[in-house]
Amino acid sequence: MKSLSRRALFGAGACLACGGAHLGLTATPVQAQQAWSPPAPEQRCPSRWGPNDRRGSMNLMTPERARRAAQLIRSGEKVELGHVLHQNIPVFGTRRFDVHLKQMFMNPQPNRRGSNEEIVITEIGQVGTQLDGFPHQTIGDQAYNCVNVPSISSRGGFTEMGIETVGTVFTRGLLLDIAGARGVETLPDDYEITVADIQQALQRQNNPSIEEGDAIIIHTGWGRLWGQDNARYVRSCPGIGVEAAEWLIQRNPILLGADNWPVEVAPSKTMPHASLPVHQIALVVHGVHLLENMKLDELVQRRQSEFAFIMQPLKVRGGTGSTVAPVAMF
């Protein structure tokens, strides 16, 4: 069936009950509904950029969009949006980040040039502030644009859509301070952000428009737990639900980012039988990158919703993602 768009199909199948505003600052209640499931391949493919596309939302990264972002830089001030990598950051399962300093070597020449290096043992694509590439998530054995994952898998990484193909992101950034709009520093552990929450945040921020190609950054306050209560940080988190994700993606962002670990709410009370459905919606269905574990405290304190957003993943050939150090400039 091709008469309905993929986005319309998702909107119809998404949670109908999560559109209302929260009456109190509590997690979204469980309501009776059908279990969420991904759309069939014929409903989600080919992508809006054609059957051979592998770049998804990065097709929106045009020179004109970069020029417009550059016009937002007036004072030259910057805010770094990435966490420092060290041994005590929160990680999942067997992921790790270990640094071992190699013994200093003193060269024999009379100028006594010493050398210091380190060995880093880590899963470099999925630790710290990180950008998810498309092959990181699948629907069954298919990645973005219905690409068969076994066909692009090799011992040395993915042969298509590796994180090295993303390139530099230099576009308008738009902060959605959901925690601030709700009057709290941190949203509750399983708070599902709705479209009403987003609209409330936009209204509080003098109604900036969401533009095509934006890097949309969501502040939940969850980053306050980073390095302070790692067990709680990785156990659950507030974030956007399916409906809010679809609403944002309909506005054609270049990426969705947040100060939590999956951008979306986890676990979802309104989608209890689906495992991180927003990951599939963004990365697999629509080809929109996710930027996780952002450091947003200083950006929020500035109360500046619009900025030039700059980020580039590491050139890891065939990687599923990359640790990154994004920057907001004003």
pLDDT in tens, 50-96: 999 999 999 999 999 999 999 999 999 999 999 999 999 999 888 99
Residue 295 has what pLDDT?
98
Residue 24 has what pLDDT?
43
pLDDT class of 306 with cuts at 50, 70, 90: very high
Name the β-bridge partners of 215.
Answer: 173, 255
Q: Helix, strand or coil for residue 255?
A: strand
H helix runs in 137-293, sequence order: 178-181, 195-204, 230-235, 242-249, 277-279
CATH tag for 37-82+130-329 (out of 3.90.180.10, 3.50.30.50, 1.10.150.20, 3.40.710.10): 3.50.30.50
Residues 100-114: tens digit of each pLDDT: 998 778 989 999 999
Compute the distance between CA of residue 217 and CA of residue 281 in angstroms, rounded to an integer: 17
Label residues 156-171 b or e (16+ Cβ within 10 Å = b).
Answer: ebbebbbbbbbeebbb
Range of weakest confidence among 214-223, 265-274, 301-310:
265-274
pLDDT score of 184 more than 70:
yes
Stretch 23-48: mean pLDDT, rounded? 70
312 C-beta neighbours (distance < 10 Å), count: 15
**pTM (predicted TM-score):** 0.88
pLDDT score of 23 more than 50:
no
The kind and range of the H/E element at 69 are helix 63-70
* Listed residue (328, 6, 9) closest to 172, CA to CA: 328
Residue 324 has what pLDDT?
98
Q: What average pLDDT does the structure give for the chain?
A: 90
Contact at 8 Å (CB) between 55 and 287? yes
pLDDT class of 7 with cuts at 50, 70, 90: very low
Q: Helix, strand or coil for residue 99?
A: strand
Share of the chain above pLDDT 90, in %: 81
